[in-house]
Chain A
Amino acid sequence: MSADPIDAGSLAEELDNLERRQLERTWQYASGLWGWVAEVDHQRIGVRYIVTALIFFALGGIEALMIRVQLAKPENGFLNPDLYNQVFTTHGTTMMFLFAVPVMLGLGVYLVPLMVGTRNLAFPRLNAYSYYVYLIGGLFLYAGFFLKAGPDAGWFSYVPLSGPAFSPGKRVDIWCQMVTFTEISSMAVAVNLITTAFKQRAPGMSLNRIPIYVWAMVVTSFMVIFAMPAVALASQMLPLDRLIDTHFFNPAEGGDALLWQHLFWFFGHPEVYIIFIPATGIVSTILAPFTRREVFGYLALILSLVATGFIGFGLWVHHMFATGLPQLGQSFFTAASIMIAVPSGIQMFCWIATLWGGRLRFQPPLLYVLGFILTFMIGGLTGVMLAAVPLDLQVHDTFFVVAHFHYVLIGGAVFPLLGGLYYWFPKMTGRMPSRKLGHLSFWLVFLGFQVTFFPQHILGLQGMPRRVYTYLPETGWGDLNLLSTVGAFILGLGVLVYVINLVASRVAGAPAGDDPWESDTLEWATSSPPPPYNFHPMPTVSHRAPLWHRSEDQPVITGLRSDRREFLMTGLMDAEPDHRQVSPGPTMMPFFLSIGTGITFILGIFTPWALPIGAVPVAASLIGWFWPRGDQGHKILKEKS
């Protein structure tokens, strides 16, 4: 015994291993089926969000191909008019409500805690609830679709078409409640992300050191909080009109059909930015490691995000130019719609400046960013065109609009998303995706996209209206439509290759290591995939690009207990350590609450009694949720006698 001198270094190492094992036990994932349902970990739920959203993306994509097959030649009989209506409505609804918003928020659920250097979201149980409510909404829509009750009034379900007089049956009600489910889910995620980003940042991560992606998610979350209540309310008013004869949208009894359009677009336009802003955050994040320099113009980028968030609320009426507006209203909303190009332009120049001075690595994530810049620019330019009332009135409801919004939504959001998922795939799985398949899928997606949607600009200018199930040969639209259909299949093939790449690499990819891209943000400071407790030891930050500026004596956090799920709360402005909180472990209550929510809204399309009936399980699971369990180490208070 006396032969070994006491080695302080190995003793510290031993203690560290002990603590790590204790952390493993405290934070371990729940096992079994019940454990799967009761899971509250943000990584697990974030990945579930992403996978679920990608499945809906695939379904929406199949519907898109069905639309393209139907339109490939004049007077085609592949889909009958009724089925065509259901397919294009379900396509739009799926892509907007079940794919685009959830996948962006789900990626935020996965990344925000890792990027700010904490162990879980602020409200882990709320996060589980959000996911289940979203899942119920999606399953409900598709249950309706396969029972021949797919919604058929378009993704914005204008009244009076969607009202009781012209849409009997339950199709529109299913659409409405699906919207309600997804909005509840998104609003809950938004509150969660804001709280996490504001209160749980690693010490030293002051406001001016928050990663741009996290800023983007914060701005997005604020937009969700103020935009989505409009449609969540409207999606109750419409079923009420249909079920218990209220008259919100009935002009004969003092209602107004245009009220629906205002309520819908007050949500619907910010919605576009709710999808687009996270994508810009992804772009800014990817650019740094693939140009090997910090992104140019941090402050300008953040201020542009915030400006977009505000201006995004001031232009919803440009969707309603054709409804007859006072001239001042037209001018105002034209000006606002053109104004929003300014912050987008600033971001664009910052990205170009970053590329200009960088040493580029042409790997798939960067290719998607470059594809994004080109495609989004075209979509942005047609957006500026559409902001002008005379042009808008000419091409309103034509394929020109269809081309425009696919350029901004696929080019502006899906390209960065595909790049981002490729970029973070090693972090999520610990394995590298295949670069060869990555390149192949990018070129198929990029070229397929242009071939599909560029001709639609021309078709729109030639007068082809959207949402018609077929057209006559004499119109001369057949050739361009066939070209567009061919492009759609190339695009579909590209997505298929992308998915095959991810699935195959998940199983057999090369091990990734902690930081395969030599990135600058905190999520790369931990293992791939990260342990359930995310970090050990807890990091501190002294620079905007923490991994590129780690000092020799970078302090770490100690003193968080590892025998319970503890994490550090920090100050809003400068992220100075403030107090410790205990995070709840796995629980079934969020799942039960989502079932109660589901019963309320699904039964609600048949009877108003759904509210009192559904209130019982909702109240019961909420009480179970909040009832003190006494296991969080809080001080018990006694009555002073």
Chain B
Amino acid sequence: MRQRPVIDVSGLPTTAFGHRDPLWWGVVGIMCIEGTMFAIMAASYFYLRGGAQLWPPPGTLHPGIGITTLNLLILLASIYPMHQAAQAAEREDLPAIRRWLIVATVLIVAFLIVRFLILNRLTFRWDSHAYGSLVWLTAGLHTLHVITGIIENLLFITLLTKGPVEDKHMDDLRLNSMYWYFVVACWVPFYCIFFLDPRLLHASIG
């Protein structure tokens, strides 16, 4: 029998980082899908705004440029510990990952609390007018992502505490951080659209 030439792959690793990992493609796919959803929310906002006589509707007050900006800063700040956690995952430094994840989660929970305070200060509801529907749906969608992010972090913290931690989880942790940057990035344009609206800035409740 003729011996066939072979490519022996038994020496190849069983984990890979970055775009070599299929899960990276999965997460990027989800980001594309959800990014498109947020983009469509923004497009809907401007479509309705373009056709409106008065926008935002009369009587709409800004919930406060201070508190909304503060919350954006908290959200942006959460990137730093998430990034540190990802870096620690690359070094397989388990205590450092856990430490940075806890810091990040505290910041994200603080963001969530302030987000509820802001929503509480809105002078309109989702059923007041189309402007209200858009603001509430966008904020609701984003809040859902934030809550998911918190749950994911808590699960990782539990896993890191209880074990067993596998080398594959190091890449999962990095992807978790990557996805979080995406959740943060999604809110920045909506902060500008909703809270830097020149027609609202002069009519603030705070």
1/0 per residue, CB under 8 A from B, across A534-571: the answer is 00010010000000000011111111110000001101
B15 & A579 in contact (Cβ 8 Å cutoff): yes
Contacts of A553 in B (CB 8 A): 4-5
Q: Cβ of A263: which chain B residues have Cβ within 8 Å of it? A: 40, 44
Asked whether A558 lies within 8 Å of B137 as measured between CB atoms, the reply is no
Q: Does B137 lie within 8 Å of A226, measured CB to CB?
A: no
Which of B34, B48, B167 has most A Cβ within 10 Å? Answer: B48
Q: How far is the CA of A13 from the CA of B25 in the complex (A)?
A: 39
Which positions 101-159 of chain B face chain A at CB distance < 8 Å? 126-134, 136-137, 151, 155, 159
Closest A residue, CB atoms, query B14: A580
Please indicate the chain B residues that have their CB under 8 angstroms from the CB of A561 in the complex. Answer: 10
Chain B, range 5-63, C-beta contacts under 8 Å to A: 5-16, 19-20, 22, 25-26, 29-30, 32-34, 36-37, 40-41, 44, 47-48, 51-52, 55, 57
A623 to B136, CA, bound (A): 28
A632, B133: Cβ atoms closer than 8 Å: no
Tell whether, in the assembled complex, residue A635 and residue B30 are in contact, meaning their CB atoms are under 8 Å apart: no
Q: A638 to B133, alpha carbons, bound, how many Å?
A: 49
Q: Is residue A512 contacting chain B, with contact meaning CB distance below 8 A? A: no
Establish whether residues A255 and B48, one from each chain, have CB atoms under 8 Å apart when the complex forms.
Answer: yes
Q: State the total of A-B contacts with C-beta under 8 angstroms.
A: 193
Return chain B residues, CB-CB under 8 Å to A256: 47-48, 51, 130
Nearest Cβ distance between residue A114 and chain B, in whole angstroms?
Answer: 18
Question: Which residues in A have their C-beta under 8 angstroms from that of B12?
Answer: 559, 568, 577-580
Residues of B within 8 A of A554 (CB): 4
Taking a contact as CB atoms under 8 Å apart, the answer to whether B32 and A255 are in contact is no
- Among A30-38, A128-136, A229-237, the stretch that binds chain B is A229-237
Q: Are B166 and A628 in contact (CB under 8 A)?
A: yes
Q: Give chain A residues whose Cβ lies under 8 Å from the Cβ of B33.
A: 187, 191, 225, 228-229
B197 within 8 A of A: no
Whether B166 and A634, one on each chain, are in contact in the complex, defined by CB atoms closer than 8 angstroms, is yes
Asked if B9 and A577 make an inter-chain contact with CB atoms under 8 angstroms apart, the answer reads yes
Assess the A555–B14 pair: CB atoms within 8 A. Answer: no
Q: Please determine whether B47 and A262 come into contact, CB atoms closer than 8 angstroms.
A: yes
Name the contact of B26 in the complex, choosing from A195, A262, A580 (C-beta under 8 A): A195
Q: Smallest CB-CB separation from A253: which chain B residue?
A: B129
Residue B70 lies at the interface, judged by CB distance under 8 Å to chain A: no
A147 contacts B by Cβ under 8 Å:
no
Which stretch from B91-99, B177-185, B198-206 is at the chain A interface?
A: B91-99
Q: How far is the CA of A620 from the CA of B62 in the complex (A)?
A: 39
Given A578-B16, A630-B164, also A229-B40 (CB < 8 A): yes
Interface status of B192 (Cβ within 8 A of chain A): no
Interface pair B41/A233, CB less than 8 Å apart:
yes
Q: Report A274-304 CB contacts with B as 1/0, cut-off 8 Å.
A: 0000000000000000000000000000000
Binds B, one of A238-246, A318-326, A342-350, A467-475: A238-246
- Closest residue of chain B to A236, judged by CB? B137
Contact at B25–A634, with CB atoms within 8 Å?
no
- Contact in complex: B9, A640 (CB < 8 Å): no
Residue A102 lies at the interface, judged by CB distance under 8 Å to chain B: no
- In angstroms, how far is the closest chain A Cβ from the Cβ of B43? 8
Residue A572 is within 8 A (CB to CB) of chain B in the complex: yes
> A158 → chain B, closest Cβ, in Å?
16
Most B CB within 10 A of own CB, among A254, A561, A571: A254
Task: Determine if B133 and A247 form an interchain contact, defined as CB atoms under 8 angstroms apart.
Answer: yes
Whether the Cβ atoms of B32 and A225 lie closer than 8 Å is yes
CB atoms of B30 and A254 under 8 A apart: no
Q: Which of B8, B126, B167 contacts A244 (CB 8 A)?
A: B126
Residue of A122, A572, A633 near B14 (CB, 8 A) is A633
Asked whether A634 lies within 8 Å of B168 as measured between CB atoms, the reply is yes
With a CB–CB cut-off of 8 A, which chain A residues contact B133? Answer: 237, 240-241, 246-248, 255
Give the chain B neighbours of A8 by CB distance below 8 A: 1
Contacts of B136 in A (CB 8 A): 246
A187 to B52, CA, bound (A): 34
| Interface: A441 (CB within 8 A) | no
Which chain A residues lie closer than 8 Å to B22 at the CB level? 122-123, 195, 199-200, 569, 581
**Is B26 a contact partner of A572 (Cβ separation < 8 A)?**
no
How many angstroms from the CA of A557 to the CA of B132 in the assembled complex? Answer: 59
How far, in whole Å, are A195 and B23 apart by their CA atoms in the complex? 8
Given contacts A263-B40, A558-B7, A628-B159, contact A240 B32 (CB under 8 A): no
* CB <8 Å contact, A226 and B32: yes
| Closest B residue to A249 using CB positions | B130
Residues of A within 8 A of B52 (CB): 254
Q: Which residues of A contact B73 (CB under 8 A)?
A: none
- A-chain residues with CB within 8 Å of residue B14 when the two chains form the complex: 579-582, 633-634
User: Does A619 make an interface contact (CB < 8 A)?
Assistant: yes
Interface 0/1 of A441-469, CB less than 8 Å to B: 00000000000000000000000000000
**Is B165 on the interface with A (CB-CB < 8 A)?**
yes
Which B residues touch A247, using CB under 8 A?
Answer: 127, 129-130, 132-133
A203 part of interface (Cβ distance < 8 Å):
yes
The minimal Cβ–Cβ distance linking A94 to chain B, given in whole angstroms, is 25
Say whether A632 contacts B168, CB under 8 Å: yes
Least CB distance from B110 to A in Å reads 22
Whether A198 sits at the interface, judged by CB under 8 Å, is: yes
Chain A proximity of B151: nearest CB distance (Å): 7
Whether A559 contacts B130 by the Cβ 8 Å rule is: no
Closest Cβ neighbor of B140 among chain A residues: A611
CB-nearest residue of chain A to B131:
A254
Please determine whether B137 and A560 come into contact, CB atoms closer than 8 angstroms: no
CB distance from B147 to the nearest CB of A (A): 9
A64 within 8 A of B: no
Interface string of A1-43 (1 = CB under 8 A from B): 0000000110011000000000000000000000000000000
Chain A residues in 8 Å Cβ range of B13: 579-580
A122 to B95 alpha-carbon distance, docked (Å) = 31
Instruction: Say yes or no: B9 contacts A557, CB within 8 Å.
Output: yes
Whether B127 contacts A244 by the Cβ 8 Å rule is yes
Contacts of A199 in B (CB 8 A): 20, 22, 25
Query: Contacts of A233 on B, CB cut-off 8 Å?
Result: 37, 40-41
Sampled A-B contacts (13; CB under 8 Å): A198-B25, A199-B22, A200-B22, A230-B36, A233-B41, A240-B137, A244-B127, A246-B130, A255-B48, A256-B130, A558-B7, A558-B8, A637-B167
Give the top 6 A-B pairs by smallest Cβ distance, nearest first.
A559-B10, A191-B29, A9-B1, A246-B133, A254-B130, A634-B166
Interface, chain A (partner B; CB < 8 A)? 8-9, 12-13, 122-123, 126, 187, 190-191, 194-195, 198-200, 203, 225-226, 228-230, 232-233, 237, 240-241, 244-248, 250, 253-256, 259, 262-263, 266, 537, 540, 552-561, 568-569, 571-572, 577-582, 619, 623, 626, 628, 630, 632-640
B residues near A, CB below 8 A?
1-2, 4-16, 19-20, 22, 25-26, 29-30, 32-34, 36-37, 40-41, 44, 47-48, 51-52, 55, 57, 92-95, 126-134, 136-137, 151, 155, 159, 163-170
- A sample of 14 more A-B contacts (CB under 8 A), given A555-B5, A555-B6, A556-B6, is A123-B26, A195-B29, A247-B133, A253-B129, A254-B52, A254-B131, A556-B5, A558-B7, A581-B14, A582-B14, A632-B166, A634-B167, A635-B166, A636-B165
